[in-house]
Structure 1
Amino acid sequence: MADKSAHKAKTRARILGEAAGAMRMAGVQGIGVSALMQRAGLTHGGFYAHFESRDDLVAHAVDRMFEESAMILDRFLGERPDLAGLIDHYLSESAYRAVDRGCPLPGLSGEAARMPPDARLRFEAGVRRFREGIARALEIAGRSDGAVLAHSLLAELVGAMTLARAMSDEGAALDFLASSRDRLKERIGLA
């Protein structure tokens, strides 16, 4: 029985991993149950052994994406916050190229308002955790305006990555990210 439960949990995790990657690459509408199950090496009929509906899958995939991003946030916003390191990492060339594994905010923010209700609530919770981590780091750094500044900092990080990924000229996109990193650190006193 334990082997069966472990297998089911492993299969569910594989489906969620595929769904999270597909959503990062093609958005919420990029998830088709049949194609997703095929990529996971499973049959379409097996889907309902793991999820109640496509909307349920989307909600859990949003959780999965934020869980994966939490490791990065813990690294830069944990015990000893490193905002400069967070900015450098978030707006780096490697993050720019990691569309299928990176932070879900640049790819999904424009779709959040149209997500199924439960997925939208989970998305908002992920945004809130990120913003609160930034606010805490700013307050530890001595900024009295940390809570307000965290809104702006998060918006600039996500906006810069979103715009860079939208550019057809990769060199211009990477220059855009470099400039954004420098100006953002300068603006909040980390340069």
Structure 2
Amino acid sequence: MADKSAHKERTRARILDEAAQALRIGGTEGVSVAALMKRAGLTHGGFYAHFASRDDLVAHAIDRMFQDSSAMLDHFLRDRPGADGLAALIDYYLSEQALRMAGQGCPLPALTGEVPRMPAAARTRFERGMEAFRDRIALALDAMRRPEPQALASSALAEMVGAMALARALSDHSAALDLLGAARSRLKLRLGLA
């Protein structure tokens, strides 16, 4: 029985990983249950053994994406002092590598424009993930003794997300890199990290 349960969890995780990538790349319109199950190497009929509906899948995939974001934040902020970790996070988040990793990257730049049209459960999970991301930045700013760390974290997160979303929208790769570079340097200067 334990093997069957473990297999079901692995299958569910595979479906969620595929859905998370599809959401990052194509938004909610990019999540076709039949295509998703095919990419996961599963039959369409097996979908309902794991999720009640497509909307249920989208909500859980958003949770999955923010688990990835949490791991990224841990990598940069858990074991480094506030300023060092925050500077490294900004450098990575606004990097060419992150620009190229739209299918694996932070869900905030990919989905922010779509959230108002998502089902309530998905919106709630997105908002919770965004708040958790902002709160981790605020903790780093608080450790640096910056005034009003929550407000400053909200502003910093908005700048990071907006810069990445705009850079991904540009067809000129050099212009996208210039935009990210300017955002990276100005944000670090504004936060006292330069």
TM-score normalised by the shorter chain: which range applies?
over 0.9
Structure 2 equivalent of residue 107 of structure 1: 110
Choose which of 145, 153, 174 in structure 2 pairs with 1:142. Answer: 145
Any runs of at least 4 consecutive aligned residues in structure 1 with deviations exceeding 4 A, and if so which? none
Choose which of 83, 89, 112 in structure 1 pairs with 2:92. Answer: 89
Structure 1 equivalent of residue 129 of structure 2: 126
Alpha-carbon distance in structure 2 between the residues aligned to 1:4 and 1:188: 51
Equivalent position SS for 2:103? coil
What is the deviation of 1:169? 0.2
Structure 2 equivalent of residue 42 of structure 1: 42
Alpha-carbon distance in structure 2 between the residues aligned to 1:174 and 1:79: 29
Alpha-carbon distance in structure 2 between the residues aligned to 1:74 and 1:14: 23
What is the deviation of 1:79? 4.4
Alpha-carbon distance in structure 2 between the residues aligned to 1:136 and 1:144: 12
Structure 1 equivalent of residue 52 of structure 2: 52
Q: Which runs of 5+ in 1 are unaligned?
A: none
Supply the AA of the counterpart residue of 1:125: R
Equivalent position SS for 2:113? helix
- Where in structure 2 are the equivalents of 1:1-191 lying within 5 Å? 1-80=1-80, 81=82, 82-191=85-194
The count of corresponding residues between Structure 1 and Structure 2 is 191
RMSD: 0.8
Identity of aligned residues (%): 63
Q: Which runs of 5+ in 2 are unaligned?
A: none
Equivalent position SS for 2:10? helix
Alpha-carbon distance in structure 2 between the residues aligned to 1:108 and 1:116: 13
Alpha-carbon distance in structure 1 between the residues aligned to 2:69 and 2:24: 12
What is the deviation of 1:70? 0.9
Supply the AA of the counterpart residue of 1:104: P
Alpha-carbon distance in structure 2 between the residues aligned to 1:167 and 1:76: 27
Supply the AA of the counterpart residue of 1:116: P
The normalised TM-score by structure 1 is 0.98
Supply the AA of the counterpart residue of 2:10: K
Alpha-carbon distance in structure 2 between the residues aligned to 1:69 and 1:144: 25
Alpha-carbon distance in structure 2 between the residues aligned to 1:136 and 1:154: 13
Supply the AA of the counterpart residue of 1:113: P
What is the deviation of 1:116? 1.0
What is the deviation of 1:68? 1.0
Q: Deviations over 1:15-45 (max 9, x none)?
A: 0010000000000111011111111111111
